[in-house]
Structure 1
Amino acid sequence: MTVVLTVIGVIVLLWGVLFLVWPRLVFAPVYYPKRDAFHLHPERFRGLEQVCGGNVVLEGIVYEPESPRCTVFYFGGKEQDSVALVGKLSERFPDWRIIAFNYRGYGCSGGRPGERVLLEDAVALVTYAKERFGPLMLMGYSLGGSVAAYAASRTDVTQLILVAPFYDIPSLARRKVPFFPGWLMRCRFETARYLGGVSAPVSIFASRDDEIVPLEQSLALKEKAPSLAVHKVYSGYNHAEILGSERFIADVSKVC
Structure 2
Amino acid sequence: MNNSKKVAGVAGIASMLWLGMAAAITANQRRLVFNPNIKREVLRPRSSGHRTRPIVLRAKDGTKLSGWLMTPSVVGPHPGVVYFGGRSEEVSWVARDAGKLFPGMAVLAVNYRGYGDSQGDPAEQHMVDDGRMLFDWLAERGHVDPKRIAVVGRSLGSGVAVQVAMERPANSVVLITPYDSILAIAKRRFRAMPIEYVLRHRFESVKYASALTAPTYVLRAAFDDVVPHSHTDLLVAKLGRLQKDETVPDSDHMNIPYLAATQDRIAEFLSTQFMQPLA
- Superposition TM-score, scaled by structure 1 size: 0.92
Partner of 2:202: 188
- Matching residue of 1:219: 233
Does 160-169 or 56-65 show the bigger shift? 56-65
The corresponding residue for 1:179 is 192
Task: Say yes or no: does 1:90 pair with 2:98.
Answer: yes
Q: How does 1:28-67 map to 2 (within 5 A)?
A: 28-33=35-40, 34-38=42-46, 44-67=51-74
1:93 aligned partner, one-letter code: L
Q: Indicate whether 1:80 and 2:89 are aligned.
A: yes
Aligned-partner residue type, residue 26 of structure 1: V
Counterpart secondary structure, 1:90: helix
- Work out whether residues 138 and 157 of structure 1, in 8 Å CA contact, stay in contact via their aligned partners in 2: yes
Identify if the C-alpha distance between structure 1 residues 167 and 43 changes in structure 2 by more than 3 Å, giving closer, same or farther: closer
Letter in 2 for 1:23: R
Cα distance in 2 between the residues matched to 1:221 and 1:146: 11
Q: Measure, in 2, the Cα distance between the counterparts of 1:218 and 1:52.
A: 31
Gaps of 5+ in 1: none
Q: Map 1:242-253; keep pairs closer than 5 Å.
A: 242-253=256-267
The code of the aligned residue for 1:71 comes to G
SS at match of 1:255: helix
Cα contact 1:35–1:87 (8 A) shared by 2: no
Residue type of the partner of 2:110? F
**Unmatched runs of 5 consecutive residues or more in structure 2:** 1-6, 271-279
TM-score normalised to structure 2 length: 0.85
Return the letter of the residue paired with 2:154: Y
Structure 1 Cα separation of the partners of residues 240 and 258 of structure 2: 28
1:88-237 matches, within 5 Å, as: 88-93=96-101, 95=103, 96-132=105-141, 133-134=144-145, 135-181=148-194, 182-237=196-251
Supply the AA of the counterpart residue of 2:151. Answer: L
Deviations 1:135-181 (A, max 9, x none): 31110000111001110000001001000111111111122211222
Q: Deviations over 1:70-123 (max 9, x none)?
A: 4211100111112x1223322532624321111111111111111111111111
The structure 1 segments of at least 4 consecutive aligned residues displaced by more than 6 Å after TM superposition are 40-43
Does the residue aligned with 1:226 lie in a helix, a strand or coil?
coil
The amino acid across from 1:245 in the alignment is L
Q: 1:160 to 1:42 in 2, by over 3 A?
A: closer
Contact kept in structure 1, 2:100 and 2:267, CA below 8 Å? no
Larger Rg: 2
Q: 1:87 and 1:60 mapped to 2: Cα distance?
A: 9
Give the AA of the match of 1:139: V
Report deviation, 1:129.
Answer: 1.0
Identity between Structure 1 and Structure 2 (%): 24
Secondary structure at the counterpart of residue 220 of structure 2:
strand
Alpha-carbon spacing, 1:43–1:171, altered in 2? closer, same or farther (3 Å):
closer
Secondary structure at 2:189's aligned position in 1?
A: coil
Q: Which residue of 9, 17, 42 corresponds with 2:16?
A: 9
Higher mean C-alpha deviation, range 234-243 or range 212-221:
234-243
Show the counterpart of 2:275: none
| CA deviation profile, 1:186-206 (whole Å, cap 9, x unmatched) | 210111112222111111111
